[in-house]
Structure 1
Amino acid sequence: MPDSVESDDIFAMAGLRHTAPKGDFPATEMYPTVAYQVVHDELMLDGVSRMNLATFCTTWVDDQARRLMNESLDKNIVDKDEYPQTAELERRCVRMIADLWHSPDAATTLGTSTTGSSEAAMLGGLAAKFRWRKRGGKGVPNFVCGPVQVCWEKFARYFDVEIRQVPLRGDRLTMHPDDIARYVDENTIMVVPTFGQTFTGLFEDVAGISKALDDIQAKTGLDIPIHVDAASGGFLAPFCAPEVVWDFRLPRVKSINASGHKTGLAPLGAGWAIWREAADLPEDLIFDVDYLGGSMATFNLNFSRPGSQVITQYYDFIRLGRTGYSRVQEQIYRVSQHLAKGLRELGHFEMIHDGDPKRGITAVSWFLKDPDAGFNLYDLSDRLRTRGWLIAAYPLPADRQDETIMRAVLRHGFSIDIIDLLLCDVQRSIEQLQRNPRSKPLTKAEAGGFTHNATAKVPSKTVKARS
């Protein structure tokens, strides 16, 4: 081939004869195939998302969902005048979720899609703050919670609200109903139980906390609402533990947030905020905009965002229905319990959450029984990474920060066979660590973190109980 004719082999093309742009904005263009190959090859260095047991987010979707995502990439969900049917699918999802969570009147309940449960949680918190202010609240507003995902610390900091985080005590791993009275006062805008705690996977007792607040109101007159952070549990309990009362069946629950892109099975970028009744969402939070072609209401923190995740969430709802969601979620619980059983049989671990659907989400968490086992959980987590498995190890929240646990989140796409492969690698890793112990066990800082919550760099402030 003459020198003047460029080879048609992609790896001989000009764009791949030098390193990819990494700093200054590129001066020249590339062929699309070359640019694609550069990005594609670099992404091979990422972990395999299906083997990431630290994340709560969806890592498997079917071909039809991928087609819908691709077909609706260019739809901006905020532009309801231009894309009225996308807006209609969002309204249907809100009504369906309100019905799932036992809203008194699902047809009139207000709610919205969001980019995830963090945005939805902040909307629930803002609504509670605005309701408190409308009631004449003065001073610094506060909310009470147990060990929470970092979005609540962000909410407190960004929106000037004091977070009163109940520390763990004794053998407790969640906020308990008898903790509440010592932390609430006339400036408490809400109590936030976590229905599927990020640290352990356990459900907090929403019904018990509601009863404790009823008792407080009877004694003091304080009428304190509940916002439930059901980021992970909101799409599990309705199908697998319907007898657990945590949602709008409790009149004190005014709002709920959940992630569609976690146990809702939607792709990344889907969350939901739902209010019990229209009156629970203050009108001051709703904006009417008319510069996209028609007047429309919006009450999100984000403005322009893709409609594809909501479209795909609606697809999931109508494809599976209650029967299908129950079947899928029950299988994930079976996979979780299989992992817990296998870990228990290895003899090194004490289970915190074993995948019981009445106690928590589709996750397994555990302690190391013997501190002299020849390895710690950071060592094990690090060793499993060599086989591609990402499993989080981290300290518990205050006041049990000297204890380290490990947590695996099981999601749609995990099978018994995959878990058997994982268990073989856990056993192999333990044997290798015991045969070749480190001179100094890994620390949290050396091991690195795999989650967006337990390893976050936002400082947590735990408030002690009032005397």
Structure 2
Amino acid sequence: MEVDGSTIYSLAARHIYTVSPSPFSRLFHLSKLVTMPLSRHIDANSVIESCKDHPHKQHLNTHSQRARATYHQSWSRDSGADVPKYTMPKNGIPSKSAYQLLHDELTLDGNPTLNLASFVQTWMPEEAEKLIIENMNKNAVDLDEYPACQVIHNRCVSMIADLWKAPTATQAVGTATAGSSEAIMLGGLALKKRWQSALTSANPPRDPYHPGPNIIFGANAQVALEKFARYWDVETRLVPVKAKNDFIMDPRDAIKLVDENTIGIIVIMGSTYTGHFEDVQLMSDLLDDLQKRTGIDVPIHVDAASGGFFAPFAYPNYKWAFDVPRVHSINTSGHKFGLVYPGLGWIVWKDETFLHKDLIFELHYLGSVEYSYTLNFSKPAAPFIAQMFNFLNLGFDGYRKIALKGLKNARLLSRALEGTYFTVLSNVHKPASPPAAGAAGLVKKAADVLYDEEDPERYQRGLPVVSFRLSDEFMKENPNIKQEWISIMLRAKGWIVPNYGAPPNEEKTEMLRVVVRETLSEDLVERLIADILEVTEGLMGMSPSQSPFGNNASGSFVVSSSSVWDDDVEGDEEEFYTVSPSSPPMVLCASEPPSFKSPVVPYLPTPSPSPPLSTPTPFYARNPTTLHNPLTTIITFLTSLPSSITSTLVSSYHAIHTATADPRTIIPIFQSGLASIAQFASSFIFYLTLPFTSSNLNPTSTSTSRSIHDSSYPMTSILNKRFFASPQTAGDAKDIMTASLAASSAA
């Protein structure tokens, strides 16, 4: 059975796997964790009712319909927290109960500090948080009531315009937004309106709707750019990106797509994929040349969502902003490297003439004349007050110090990864120029002693982002390892490190990405490196070429150093069992009833098929030689479990968290399950991979050895006592052990 990785969802802090098709797949489809501004109402009761024909229905019906549709607090002393989940409660509950319900539910979220997937700031000083709380009830659009807020807003715009080197001879204008996405919309609308105005004022006038406007940006652009084009009927012309160009737009490719209907070109200062800066100056030079040859005048908008509050401090002499004449507008996110909590964005135009007057609204109904250019009306004052706090608290030098620290830690992480099993795709650790040869190289090496080695100008420019992948050499030696497993196993350690495909045209390349924010200290970087290497080497231990057992190893993920103990042994005496590497691991799987046709676990084809079982037994065993990865084992085993055994095991649910980060243990117990988004009673399927056979399991203890088929065999005791709660399932576990070991001996 083939398992589509896209159907596997990671929920909260634990990994719960399900594979379609399944009646439960609907639940996971509805609860898939994606970033969406829209939510679909979910009638959980109807979904649950549709499961009644499922073998697990007796477990789903253990709670009443009312209980399924209500919150269940994590404590039992307060009965007041009994409210519906999907309908408005008729009567409220105490504020403490409401807080506790939501607080407990939100503990399922990841740790923001360890969320290395996000550019968003996750920490601010206590004084900043105090300011936010004091002003979070102020609506900045009401100028008469909150004039001081407007003054602070205007000062922020002035400071940002100066930071981006707006000419003093022009009148820069700008506004705060909910984030860079709104800022992009406003910037794109200004470009479109300028283009329309130029067409209608031409001699003779041209129709601005046929063939219509187009906008150009790289395939690595953030989705907000595509949203703008789709929402406002602008043709998108994507510039393909290439690996040789660091997965960013090449201006020489972009210029080929320009025509008289191009409203603008978006240049990205800090790609979300790798952190590279696109070349604003080169794009401007090419457009200047195009205008000289054709008369077509195309402006540049810089999407500096991440780079707007980073490049000016890390690379103050780099030309990318309003010091490039063709740049008309720039947007950024205050909640990224502006170091403010979400959500705050900014957009600034070099001159007020670049913002068409038809886009500015004059408002009179709040007591005075106000001018507005935003997509929404109400606007919280707290975010830009927090931005001003940072400007005053940090100043230029403070922002620069944080930027340099981020680059230093990014280089540390990059070098560590490149020195092991990875190829780093980001560039901030690479020298700005290749080392010279001969005497020039010696002079440069001597000069390096005199200058700051951590000076960012000595390296290629970019954001403190580390994008990396498994090296070609590693993949050649370990072809069975999938890069996404590293991301999944790091999540088990608390780290959120995404694995994703490169932009279109290079989507076959997968990359892992770490955003080195202010909160990722050097100590945390060191810990992250250790965890990445531990996870990677753990996966290597499952590979035939890297087995810890050497050339005679089977390639299993079992190590002889792992051990289990028998609680039934009296006194201080403990009985240990070690596993020899002479045979590949055995996987146990329940059979279907005679009316079903599912004889064995559907593993991938093996070089030499396993011998058939001599006699029918309630359970089947198979020795797969492809069992080099525990995740493959988990998914395949879970999909093959029949109803006859899952319905029994589900009822024995207990929170088992015995599996460690290192899957190479004597009895790797993998927990998985199916849980509904309605938070009704979870149905969990437990299964186990037993890496031993009757020929390679050897009791090594000071106590008297017992027969492997003896009913008092300690392994059965462990299963009975530790992993299964009810006597019925404990007996089934014993039957599994006995029948499977007998089948293995017969085979």
| TM-score of the superposed pair, with normalisation by structure 2 | 0.56
Match of 2:469 in 1: 367
Q: How far apart are 1:289 and its partner, in Å? A: 1.2
Superposition RMSD in Å: 1.9
Task: Answer yes or no: is the 8 Å Cα contact 1:95–1:107 preserved in 2.
Answer: no
User: Which of the residues 134, 141, 144 maps onto 2:216?
Assistant: 144
Separation in 2 of the partners of 1:377 and 1:431?
12
Q: Does 1:153 align with 2:214?
A: no
- Bigger Cα displacement from structure 2, 89-98 vs 288-297: 288-297
Cα distance change, pair 346–86 in 1 and its aligned pair in 2 (3 A): same
Separation in 1 of the partners of 2:513 and 2:471?
15
Match of 2:163 in 1: 100
Task: Answer yes or no: is the 8 Å Cα contact 1:344–1:351 preserved in 2.
Answer: no
Match of 2:386 in 1: 312
User: Which of the residues 33, 39, 44 maps onto 2:96?
Assistant: 33
Match of 1:432 in 2: 538
Q: How far apart are 1:11 and its partner, in Å? A: 4.4
Q: Does 1:387 align with 2:493?
A: yes
- Bigger Cα displacement from structure 2, 360-369 vs 183-192: 360-369
Q: Does 1:51 align with 2:114?
A: yes
Separation in 2 of the partners of 1:189 and 1:425?
47
Separation in 2 of the partners of 1:310 and 1:352?
31
Q: How far apart are 1:351 and its partner, in Å? A: 3.4
Q: Deviations over 1:406-450 (max 9, x none)?
A: 11111111100011111111011112222234377799xxxxxxx
Match of 1:452 in 2: none
Give 1:182's aligned amino acid: K
Match of 1:201 in 2: 275
Separation in 2 of the partners of 1:426 and 1:121?
36
Q: How far apart are 1:292 and its partner, in Å? A: 1.9
Match of 2:195 in 1: 132
Match of 2:362 in 1: 288
1:117-128 equivalence runs, <5 A: 117-128=180-191
Q: Does 1:171 align with 2:171?
A: no
Task: Answer yes or no: is the 8 Å Cα contact 2:407–2:428 preserved in 1.
Answer: no
Task: Answer yes or no: is the 8 Å Cα contact 1:96–1:106 preserved in 2.
Answer: no
Separation in 1 of the partners of 2:140 and 2:121?
21
Cα distance change, pair 88–11 in 1 and its aligned pair in 2 (3 A): farther
Give 1:402's aligned amino acid: K
Q: How far apart are 1:348 and its partner, in Å? A: 2.8
1:182-331 equivalence runs, <5 A: 182-331=256-405
| TM-score of the superposed pair, with normalisation by structure 1 | 0.89
Q: Deviations over 1:280-327 (max 9, x none)?
A: 111111111122222211101111121100000011011111111111
Match of 1:461 in 2: none
Match of 2:682 in 1: none
User: Which of the residues 64, 86, 92 maps onto 1:23?
Assistant: 86
Give 2:184's aligned amino acid: A
Give 2:137's aligned amino acid: D
Separation in 1 of the partners of 2:118 and 2:327?
28
Match of 2:706 in 1: none
Separation in 2 of the partners of 1:87 and 1:347?
53
Match of 2:528 in 1: 422
Question: Taking every aligned residue pair, what percent have the same amino acid on both sides?
Answer: 41
- Bigger Cα displacement from structure 2, 285-294 vs 303-312: 285-294
The unaligned stretches of length 5 or more in structure 2 are 1-73, 200-205, 431-455, 543-627, 636-747
Separation in 1 of the partners of 2:139 and 2:151?
13
The unaligned stretches of length 5 or more in structure 1 are 1-8, 444-467
Match of 1:464 in 2: none
Match of 1:399 in 2: 505
Match of 2:738 in 1: none
Aligned residues: 433
- Find the residue that maps to 1:191 and give its secondary structure: strand
User: Which of the residues 145, 151, 174 maps onto 1:82?
Assistant: 145
Give 1:65's aligned amino acid: A
- Find the residue that maps to 2:490 and give its secondary structure: helix
- Find the residue that maps to 1:288 and give its secondary structure: strand
Bigger RCO of structures 1 and 2 (CA < 8 A, at least 6 apart) = 1
Task: Answer yes or no: is the 8 Å Cα contact 2:242–2:248 preserved in 1.
Answer: no
Q: How far apart are 1:150 and its partner, in Å? A: 0.3
Separation in 1 of the partners of 2:407 and 2:169?
28
